[in-house]
Amino acid sequence: MGETSKERLKPTLGLFDATAIGIGAIIGGGIFVVTGIVAGLAGPALIISIVVSAIIALVSALSFVELTAWLPAEGSVYEFAHRLISPFAGFLTGWMWIISNIFAGAAVSLGFSYYLVALLPGLQPKLVAVALCAAFTAVNYVGVRESATFNNVLVTVKIAILLVFVCVGLFHVNSANFVPFIPSELGVLYGAYFIFFAYGGFARVAVVAEEVKDAKRVVPRSILLALVTSTVIYVMVGIVAVGLVGAPSLGKSNSPLTEAISVVGSPLLVCLVSSGGMIATASVLLTSVLGVSRLGFAMARRGDLPRLISKLHPRYNTPYISILIGGALMALIVLFVDLTGLVGIGTFAQLFYYGSANASALRLKVEARRYPRFLPMIGLVTCIVLLAFVSVPALEIGGACLAVGVAYYMLKRNASAILRTRRQNM
């Protein structure tokens, strides 16, 4: 179905806003939350896991650059797959994007609560996470301009805190913590799978492309700027964190950077880094709610989800029903799934839709290409390879979510066919 003027979102975001949305989505869940999980798997070689994931993400990012320059539309990869592969592929891609970002939002809200509990012991982490989901759903409800402004502040502060962590921590690094550097080659690959969860945010700005000024030029630039900036920060922080306390200690902690900086012996720095963890995860949650709501809006606008979800608020011009549903689901899921499970399921769904993005880029016509055709092929293959490292529980739950999407699409298509037949026979 075609969209009406009332279903259009207004372009209000510039290059800084767009890049900050990308950085806000990347730096947070990975460096403040997943670092511990990856350190437990890869040891000091978590740095290699970071670089491997960055390369995989970069290849997929180039596909997004091509696709977004071709079609800067709200809905991003959902729109690409719908137009370049098939409506069914588009639906499943959008569906898994929503699943991934709901689980990602739940994961970072739980990460926030762990850093808060490090400062204020005695709080119940899951209840704190639910409260945060509710608060950031409210921020998104008010408007994208307000959300972007708030996100810009969060991104600036958390980068500053991470730079303090690196600069101070360098003077306390113990080289013995890097031996043995690669305790398990397989662990490095498992680590790359989990750290890829963090890089998933690089494409979030593409989902809100309709709200970006001069989107064909600005969105591709912001994607690459966000990815490069975040990778440099990830590597620096990873080296210092391992050097401070060693990979085993990081692997046992739910707030790994607070654990690392505690070696310095400064309560002020512990407080600062814990605050940075909360700010970082909060900004990822903010963009997660934003991404889920805009993808849900785009799918509902076409009729792939109930049309009610595409309704815009008369005052704030936001897809408020989509925002409320996404925030509520994040708050609900965080009550029942642990941190590692949330990350694993989110990454499974993420790899699905990034694979779809690379497959879509392969279908672009020659005149729309910016890069050699083998790059999206490499991106597709690497996404498939990483899927081999999905844990069994994540595979089961992620596969069940995918099956629900398939069933919903088939039921909707059959219902539409029955209605058309009835109308023709009337």
Q: What angle do CA 108, 104, 363 make, to 5 degrees?
A: 145
Cα 370 from chain centroid?
A: 25
* Structural domain contains residue 164: yes
pLDDT at 75: 66
Question: What is the SS3 assignment for 43?
Answer: helix
* Structural domain contains residue 186: yes
CA gyration radius for the chain? 21
Question: What is the SS3 assignment for 253?
Answer: coil
How many domains, the chain?
1
Residue 129 φ then ψ, to 5°: -60, -40
pLDDT at 148: 65
For residue 279, which of 152, 413, 421 has the smallest C-alpha distance? 152
H/E segment holding residue 107: helix 87-119
Long-range pairs of 361-370 with CB within 8 A, sequence gap ≥ 24:
361/63, 361/66, 361/67, 361/80, 363/84, 363/85, 364/66, 364/67, 364/70, 364/84, 368/66, 368/69, 368/70, 369/66, 370/62, 370/65, 370/66, 370/69
pLDDT at 89: 95
Cβ-based burial of 145 (10 A; exposed 0-12, middle 13-18, buried ≥19): middle
pLDDT at 3: 47
pLDDT at 28: 67
Cβ-based burial of 55 (10 A; exposed 0-12, middle 13-18, buried ≥19): middle
291 and 94 in contact (C-beta within 8 Å)? no
Q: pLDDT tens digits, the chain, 426 residues: what are they?
A: 444 444 556 677 788 888 877 777 777 666 777 888 889 899 999 999 999 888 888 888 888 888 888 887 656 788 899 999 999 999 999 999 899 989 988 988 888 888 888 788 889 999 999 999 999 898 878 766 666 677 678 778 888 999 999 999 999 999 999 988 888 888 898 888 888 877 877 776 766 677 778 777 787 888 888 888 888 898 999 999 999 999 999 888 888 898 999 999 899 999 998 888 888 777 778 778 877 888 888 899 888 999 889 888 888 778 889 999 999 999 999 998 888 888 889 889 989 988 999 999 999 988 878 888 899 999 999 989 888 888 888 899 999 999 999 999 999 888 877 777 777 776
CATH of the domain at 337: 1.20.1740.10
The domain of 335 spans 10-394
* Structural domain contains residue 301: yes
58 and 204 in contact (C-beta within 8 Å)? no
* Structural domain contains residue 181: yes
* Structural domain contains residue 288: yes
* Structural domain contains residue 420: no
Residue whose token pair is 């039921």: 411
pLDDT at 4: 46
pLDDT at 129: 92
- Stated pTM of the model: 0.80
* Structural domain contains residue 411: no
136 and 228 in contact (C-beta within 8 Å)? no
Q: Which residues pair with 13 in a beta bridge?
A: 212
* Structural domain contains residue 408: no
309 and 95 in contact (C-beta within 8 Å)? no
Per-residue CA distances from 205 to 64, 148, 165, 275 (Å): 10, 11, 27, 25
Token pair belonging to 382 = 């690497």
345 and 105 in contact (C-beta within 8 Å)? no
Q: How many helices (H) and strands (E) does the chain have?
A: 17, 0
Q: How far is 261 from 305, CA to CA, in rounded Å? A: 46
Q: Is 259 left (phi over 0), alpha (psi -120 to 50) or beta?
A: alpha
